[in-house]
Structures are given as C-alpha cells and as structure tokens.
Structure 1
Amino acid sequence: LSSPLPQSLCLVVPVWNSSTRGVHDLSRMVGPKGNQRKRRTLVQFLGDHFYDVQALREYFFRKQALKVQLENRSFLSIKNQYGPYITGAFFILKQGGAVKFQGEEWIRPSGRGHFSLDFLKFQAVPVEAVDASGCALNYNGLDNLLPLKELQSLWLQRCPHVDDWCLSHLHPLADSLQELSLAGCPRISERGLACLHHFQNLRRLDISDLPAVSNPSLIQILVEEMLPNCKVLGANWAQGLKLAPEEQARDAAGPVSA
C-alpha cells in the first residue's frame, strides 16, 4: 500500500478534482494572500527607504535622470568599428528616432523599438537627415551626431531635454545644416536661439511653440534679422503683442451684439 498523502496535498485535491470552477475557487483562496503579501512588502520597502513623499519623489527623479544619462552615452566601440555615420544612426534609432542616409529611404524603428541592422552596410554613406522628434536626447547625446559633417536636416521638436546648452553645442554642424526644427522644446529660451547666429547656411528654422520664450513674435523678428537667408517659422505676427488694459478687458468680454 502506498503511503498516505501529506495533509497539504489532501486539502488541494478535492478542489482540483471538483471541476473547472474548483480551479478558480483555488485561485481565489490563494490569490488574496499573495496580493496582501505583495502589498505588505511594497509598503514595508517604501517605509524602510523613504521618510516622506519628497524623498520618494527625489528617488524617482534620480532614477529617471540615470536612465536618460544611460541612453545618451557614447558608443565608442561602434564608432571604432563602423565609423561616425553608423554610430550616429544607431544612437538615433536606439532613441526611437529615424535617420536617412544619402540616396536611401528613411530608416525607422518599429512600434516596439526594433530595427533592422541592414544599415550597417552604409558605413561609407553620409547621414543627411535625422528625425529625433520626442527623443530623450540631451547635451551629452549630441556628441554622437556632431561628427555627421554632411547632415542637412535635423528635427528636434518636442525633445524634453534639449536646452540652450544643446544649441550652443551644435556649432560643428553650422556648415552643413540647412533645416532645423526646435518646435515644442520646453527648455529653449532666447539665450539658446542667440547661439544660432553661426548657422548662416540655414534655409528653414522652426521655433514655434517655445514656452520658455517670453515674446515669441519679437524673438522671431530678431532671429530673421540674424539669419536673413532663412525662412523662420514661429508665432504669428500678431501673437505676443500685448494689448492695452482697456483693450484686454474689451477682448475678454467677447463680441458685443449690435
């Protein structure tokens, strides 16, 4: 005769053999305890490591900053093996952006961030356009793009970490760059736009929707004077012109019916 089953197994077998419903009953029996244990563990971890909400916020801020720093590292091994064009393209594709080699189609990652390595065969083909819209590109990450001496178009719109220091860092691309988009970058101000006086070969510049710029219409006029051969896209001429107090009150009241 076989030895009797352990008591723990005897408790489980009736539930398992009853029906499919019994399996769900078993999950309900075990699930809450597991969830409670996880909740207790999380609460205990937070209580052991953080004294208040501010400390918790600082922890997540440091963690996010470390992630951005890691994403903007230099790929020296790739540069030594494949050269600057492949390095710049790989960096942008890893960020979720797109690149275009001269005479080739745009290369973009998939929705899950995957991309083919077929572009490695373009080792001797210059990169002529980069679309880094919305990417976590920062000052350090630009070092991967500065060797692209034939780069003609660069889109940096809605990049949360592109600031005035980044614009001051772009001057090595002044001879080749013809199109630059900074639209929607929250950290770019008048100081950064003043650094663009090096880019006399620009033919199109988008500086629309820059919340850190106090008077967009005036700044657009100044940038146009600074870059006379460039088409500057920005605020409408009427936008940013302050109304007199009585005009502001009348405008806030809305149209008056006849």
Structure 2
Amino acid sequence: MAAPMALRRGGRLLSLLRACPRYSSRSSRPAAGLLKGRILPYLYDRFYDMEAFIDFGTKLTGWNLERKNTHYLRIQEKYGDDLAAAVFALMLKGGVRFRGQTEWYREHNRKRFCVDLVNYQGVPLEAADFSGSIISYEGLGSLVNLKALKHLDLSRCPNVDDWCLSRLHVFGETLEELSLAGCPRVTERGLGCLHHLESLRRLDVSDLPSVPCKGLVRILLEEMLPQCEVVGIRYDEDELTLPIEPDVHQGQTELLREAARVQKTREIPA
C-alpha cells in the first residue's frame, strides 16, 4: 500500500508543478511580442538618461585629464621651474634626470626623490621621459620654462597631437633627442613644426598611424633638420606613392621619386 500512496503523492506534486507558472513550459518562454513591447518602451523612456550619463562620463574624463596636467605652482614658486617639472613628470609615472647625474628618478624611487628634493634646487633638468603617459597640451606648459632640456620622450602618448608639437619650439637651442614613436594623433602638419629644433640630433618617428606617405615625410624632415638623424621611417617605394588626382601632372610624382632615390643613396647604413 505504501508504494501506491507514494505514486499518488508524486503524481499530485507533478501536477502542481505543471500548474505553477514558474515551472510551466509555456510561461518560461514569454511571447516575443510581449517581450518586445516591454523592452522597447523601457529603453525609449531611458534613452535621454543614458545619453546624459554618457555625456557626464565624457566630461568627467576630460576634467580628470585636465586635473592631472595642472601645473604645480606652489612647487614652482618655492623650488623653481626644474623641480616643478620633475614632480609633474613623476606624478604622471614618468622619469627625470638632472644635469651631472646618470641615475633616473622614476615611480619606484619617487619617495627618495622627495627626500633629495632640496639637493637638486638650482640644478637644471636635462632629460624627461613621459612615454605612455597622459600628458597633453596643457601639461607641456610645465616644461616650457626649462632652459637645459636635452632629451624628451613623448612616445606612445595618446594625447600628444600637432598642437603639442607646436609648443616645442622653446627648446630649439637645447633639445637634442626627441621621441614621438607610437603617438596616434601626430600628423605631418605637426612634424612640420619641428623645424625650430636647430640642435636636434636624433628624432624617432616610428609607428605614426596618422602620417601618410612616410617616405616623403622623412625626406621633408631631413630637409628641415639636416643635422638630425631621423629613425623609424624607411625609404620604401610603396610608401612614396602619392594619393594625387588623375588631372595632376605626373611629372611631380617622378620628381619626388627621383628625390627619394637620391636621398636613399645618401642614407648611412645601420
């Protein structure tokens, strides 16, 4: 008798589960029209809220970028331009080196730099490494007063653009090495602003996605900066193809190719 009673109870339990909307196969798959009728009005009602949220996020990102590129005026007034620029570079997880020193101060020894801060008062800042940082046009304002900067690394900086390069003219008499490798916003217009750097000896312009006709750009750079070694761009015939219109005289293209061949013969082998 126990077995039939268990079967009866099991049958009743199964019928209750089938009747329950949660476990019913029909209710577990709501109609597509019902689901669409609920989701679309929901998204429509909150579209403007989402747009405002995205706009707020964009403004917050811009504010944070501007905040991190702010000048350290108190340090500048108390210790001078060189130490203020050094603190700014270290806060952006970069590196600095002073004149007469071989050791670089970076994020791992930033605390020791704070201890040695007074010892470097009056010592010119000779090298600054901002590679991979978020330095921007405003942030470069912390460096424009440096009188002895020789080495500047701006490689892989996403906010460095043509306007930033236009601020480097103040280092025309001192800057000897400059790296712009991997800067996605640098174009040939910004590279044209580098003609003021008369003391430049080495320029790294490798991996610049926004610069077309790289072989021709190298020719222009070597023409502007004859004393400078331009690295990162090769003389390839494919890169010397100009995107010109069909009605433009082909003689200009042949002239540029001839100039490229002449420059290629003068290139010093690595």
Taking structure 2 as the reference length, what is the TM-score of the superposition?
A: 0.68
Q: CA deviation at 1:49?
A: 8.9
Q: Structure 2 CA distance, aligned partners of 1:64 and 1:223?
A: 35
Q: Is 1:68 aligned to 2:65, yes or no? A: yes
Instruction: Count residues in correspondence.
Output: 197
Larger radius of gyration: 2
Question: In the alignment, which residue of structure 1 is the partner of 2:239?
Answer: 240
Match of 2:152 among 137, 151, 154: 154
Q: CA deviation at 1:76?
A: 1.1
Q: Is 1:87 aligned to 2:84, yes or no? A: yes
- Equivalent residues of 2:213, 2:241 under 8 A apart: no
Other structure's SS at 1:142 match = helix
Question: In the alignment, which residue of structure 2 is the partner of 1:117?
Answer: 114
- Mark the CA change 1:218 to 1:98 in structure 2 (over 3 Å): closer, same or farther: same
Q: CA deviation at 1:110?
A: 2.3
- Mark the CA change 1:169 to 1:49 in structure 2 (over 3 Å): closer, same or farther: farther
Q: Structure 1 CA distance, aligned partners of 2:92 and 2:49?
A: 34
1:240 counterpart letter in structure 2:
E
Gaps of 5+ in 2: 1-43, 243-270
Deviates more, 1:51-60 or 1:72-81: 51-60
- Mark the CA change 1:115 to 1:158 in structure 2 (over 3 Å): closer, same or farther: farther
- Mark the CA change 1:51 to 1:115 in structure 2 (over 3 Å): closer, same or farther: farther
Identity of aligned residues (%): 46
Superposed counterparts of 1:100-179, under 5 Å: 100-104=97-101, 105-110=103-108, 116-120=113-117, 121-179=119-177
1:224 counterpart letter in structure 2:
E
Question: In the alignment, which residue of structure 2 is the partner of 1:217?
Answer: 215
Q: Structure 2 CA distance, aligned partners of 1:48 and 1:116?
A: 54
Post-superposition CA distance 1:88-137 (Å, at most 9, x none): 000000011000011221000029x8664034120111111001001111
Match of 2:54 among 38, 54, 57: 57
1:51 counterpart letter in structure 2:
Y
Question: In the alignment, which residue of structure 2 is the partner of 1:77?
Answer: 74
Deviates more, 1:213-222 or 1:156-165: 213-222
Q: Structure 1 CA distance, aligned partners of 2:45 and 2:130?
A: 40
Superposed counterparts of 1:202-213, under 5 Å: 202-213=200-211
Gaps of 5+ in 1: 1-46, 244-258
